[in-house]
Amino acid sequence: MRRATANGSLRRRLLLSLLASSAVLAIVVYFVVQSVARQVAQDSQDNVLTASALSILDSARLSSGEITIDLPYSALSMLDSISDERVFYAIRLEDTFLSGYADLPQAVRSGGAGPAYVSTVFLGEEVRVATVGRRVSTDTGQRYLHVSVAQTLSGQKQALARISRTSMGIGAGFFLVSVLLAGIISRSTIRPLDRLTASMSRRGPRDLRPVAAPVPSEMVPLVTSLNSFMRRLHQSLRRSEDFIAEAAHRVRTPLAVVRTKAEVAERKSTDPETRKALTEMIRAIDDSSRTAGQLLDHAMVTFRLDHLTREEIALHRLVEESVERTRPTSELKDITLDIADLDTATVKGDPILVQNALLNLLDNAVKYAPAGADIKVALNAGPQDAVIRVTDTGPGFLPSELSALPKRFTRGANTQSIVGSGLGLTIAKEVIEAHGGTLKIANTTGGGACVSLLFPLS
Amino acid sequence: MRQFALSIVLMLSASWASAFEAENVAWFGPKDSERVLRIISTADIAFFEPMIASFLNATPGVAIDYTVASSTELQKAIIEERQSFDLVVSSAMDLQTKLANDGWARRYTSDATSALPSWAVWNDMLFAFTQEPAAIVVSKTGLGDLPIPQTRNDLINLLRQHPDVFRGRTGTYDVRQSGLGYLFATQDTRASEIYWRLTEVMGGLDVQLFCCSSDMIDAVKSGELLIAYNVLGSYAINRPDHQDYAIILPSDFTTVMLRTALITSTAQSPELSGRFIDHLLAKSHGPNAAPLTSSELDLGRVEPSLNRIKIGPGLLVFLDQLKKTTFLSEWESAIFQN
């Protein structure tokens, strides 16, 4: 059978798309957490800077027309309380620098009051600057006092590194959970398909019943067309079997008439040439009617296999009967037909089919064994199976043909002189396989053929 | 101490001289060495020599160029003249902090620095290697049978009860001249209001003002002073004649100055500087320490009352010109009451 060409895998495609989307989500989670945390860290730093700047601003006093500022110790020490930071400040009365670091940039707020912030580089390091201001009354009128406080970012960077690690962990954890879920999801999604595949592969070769088990809605069209396909296949098979049976049946009766006429003519004829021709004709007619008979048998077997009954079959009795039925034919050829061994065994199945199979084997043995040969039939019951073995002292099978023989219309190369259709082994094989057993053909050590039917005892 | 006296002179002369004034220079190790570590320090050579000797012992082939300067001149050398020193060692914690804060220091981390207690390191730039308390030095003989004060409160009571005995015979730093005196005074005000009461009492008793600890100790020894307040305890204990006077670490709180070292941002041999810092810290901290200051001042005994000056931007507050002006005017009004 030709294996279907695989083009990608649904499960893999599903898994990959799930993984890709969860990877994207994990990255998004990582960046969102980080940006939120960065904002929070920035805000808290800004708040501390503002508090520091406001405490300096609050210490400004007007004494005798001059502005004095009593820089609170905590204003600068609070900026260093959690992590060591470099700290800068500048106090300005409008454009006049009063104290601190004269070069420190001032954060400017575009419109509105309240603290202003700017990130910049000062004295070789990144700093965050907060600037607050308020109006003060001096001798020269209302003037504006600005206080800027700046801090390096080492504490913030530590916090961000910690947050970065945490959000990396969150992202990775999210991804791991997604991987797990993706595995489960893709498996469970594909499961109905696997189930259908398994139920289809478990079926016997002739099982063309429609699939009845419920399937997901996406698979309904596939299963519907599969069912319809099988129905058509079944019909077509049935039609061709019917046709063959019908044809064989129609051919057999006229053949019988022709044979009788030919025999009569042979008996009456005195011309040796005519007699010889008529003998050959009868032989050909025998061949044809035997084929027609086997075709009918085969059609019958096929039909019964479709509706296999399961009755108790006493194999030993069946063997005895079949041997007795074959005995007249064997005696015609001077062939000794014996039951060598007869255990008692009972199997379940269709007795007519099993007998037909056995008769075909016996028939073959009688037909292909030379005159004066011995045919032995044995029934052995073991713990696992019951074996009916038919052995003869004929020429045996050609070793090269052992596997091809049980196929339909295949005949051995050493049987040219004998009438036969090539259906006997096929019928036996189909029957035994329908009963869950196997057919084995081999040669005995003496060179004769040995055909066995193995029935499982379960 | 002599160096401090000299530094005042140099400070005055520095207004017209462009180059910073070194008080002393010394070269240790091989004369022609390629690997030279240039150190500028406020500590005089005798004080620091044991540390240099043990470093050179452990690191052969290295030479050390050691320059002694006052804390003001040291600032000038680094900031104004951009002299290429590798290490700055100073007792002026506020100025050291400002150097580091303003970007003149290089960050350095090693096993030794990460093993430091948190008070001994700032921003991986400043490393403390001594703890030197501000002490009250009392003349044992001069006090007679008066009790030796153990706290500032004791001292205030003693002065108030015997004004005639102490008039003109107490001494402390002139915080307008001495950076260390200013540092001690400002830290005292942070710790307790009692500093102002004490200053006012001493001001009322015609307190004598000094530029440096060694002069105060000399004055106590000579009998000129009975009590000197905020004397650098390490100088007092390191003198061979320290049995002649009592060194009191006030049990209400004892302000402790940390001598610190930093690697300059312009250091020519940062790797060697790092090794020197490691050596300095190994000798100063931990179980096998051999600190430069005498262990007779058992700081562990007064640990609960230790008020270590915290290295950090808080020290910048008292360097602020407006703040300093305010503080000094308050101080002057407390000292000079008439």
CB–CB of B276/B87 below 8 Å?
Answer: yes
Within a domain: B313: no
Cβ–Cβ below 8 Å for B101 and A86:
yes
State whether B271 and B157 are in the same domain. Answer: no
Q: Is the pLDDT of residue A305 over 80?
A: no
Residue in B with minimal Cα distance to A67? B322
On whether both B267 and B221 belong to a single domain, the answer is no
Considering the domain boundaries, does residue B182 fall inside one? Answer: yes
Break chain A into its structural domains and give their ranges.
13-161, 212-307, 309-458
Residue A413 vs residues A368, A402, A420: alpha-carbon distances, Å:
12, 11, 12
The whole-number average pLDDT for the span A114-137 is: 91
C-alpha distances (whole Å) from B236 to each of A134, A352, B36, B209, B222 are 50, 127, 33, 17, 14
State the pLDDT at residue B266: 92
Does this complex have an ipTM over 0.90?
A: no
SS3 of residue A341 by DSSP: strand
Could you say which of B102, B265, B317 has the minimum Cβ distance to residue A71? B317
Closest CA to A47 of A74, A78, A25, A1: A78
Q: Per residue in B270-300, pLDDT tens?
A: 999 999 999 999 988 877 677 777 666 777 7
pLDDT at site B18: 55
Confidence of residue B143 (pLDDT cuts 50, 70, 90): confident
Residue B76, min C-alpha distance to chain A (Å)? 17
* Cβ contact A76–B323 (<8 Å): no
- β-pairing, A311-314 vs A336-342, is unpaired
Residue B215 within a domain: yes
Distance from CA of A150 to the nearest CA of B (A): 11
Q: Note whether B123 contacts A124, CB cutoff 8 Å.
A: no
One-character DSSP codes across A381-450: E-SSEEEEEEEESS----GGGTTTTTSTT---GGGTTS---S-HHHHHHHHHHHTT-EEEEEE-TTS-EE
* Superfamily (CATH) of domain A309-458: Histidine kinase-like ATPase, C-terminal domain (3.30.565.10)
DSSP secondary structure letter of residue B79? I
Pairing of strands B121-122, B170-173: unpaired
pLDDT, tens digit, for every residue of B63-106? 999 999 988 899 999 999 999 999 999 999 999 999 999 999 99
**Quick check: B326 and A79 CB within 8 A?**
no
Beta-carbon separation of B310 and A77 below 8 A: yes
| Structure-token pair, residue B206 | 């015609």
Three-state secondary structure call for residue A205: coil
Taking the mean position of all CA atoms in its chain, how far away is CA A395? 48
Q: How far is residue A269's CA from residue B74's CA, in Å, rounded to a whole number?
A: 151
Tell me: do B279 and B328 sit in the same domain. no
Q: Which of A70, A73, A123 sits opposite B102 (nearest CB)?
A: A123
Do B199 and B244 belong together in one domain?
A: yes
**Long-range contacts at A204-207 (CB < 8 A, ≥ 24 apart):** A204/A433, A204/A434, A205/A433, A206/A302, A206/A305, A206/A306, A206/A434
pLDDT at position A418 is 60
Residue A164 has pLDDT above 70, yes or no: yes
Q: Domain span at residue B242?
A: 133-255+319-335
**Residue pLDDT, tens place only, A436-452:** 888 888 888 877 888 99
Chain B nearest-CA distance from A77, in A, is 4
Q: Are B320 and A71 a contacting pair at CB < 8 A?
A: yes
Residue B314 lies in a domain: no
| Domain count across chain B | 2
Mean residue pLDDT of chain A comes to 86
In a domain, B90, yes or no: yes
B284 to chain A, closest Cα gap in Å: 22
Do B200 and B272 sit in the same domain of this protein? no
At CB < 8 Å, which residues of chain B contact A? Answer: 100-103, 121-124, 190, 265, 310, 312-314, 316-318, 320-323, 326
Distant-in-sequence, close-in-space partners of A248: CB < 8 Å, separation ≥ 6: A291, A292, A293, A295, A296, A299
- Tell me A270's DSSP state: -
Q: Name the residue in chain A with its Cα closest to that of B327.
A: A70
Q: Give residue A417's pLDDT band: very low, low, confident or very high (50, 70, 90).
A: low
Residue B317 and residue A77: Cβ atoms within 8 Å?
A: yes
CATH code for position B45: 3.40.190.10
Q: Are residues B143 and B225 in the same domain?
A: yes
- If asked whether residues B111 and B54 sit together in one domain, one would say yes
Closest CA relative to residue B136, chosen from B247, B260, B13, B264: B247
CA-closest candidate to residue B135, choices B147, B152, B120: B152
Contacts of A87 in chain B (CB under 8 A): 101, 313, 316
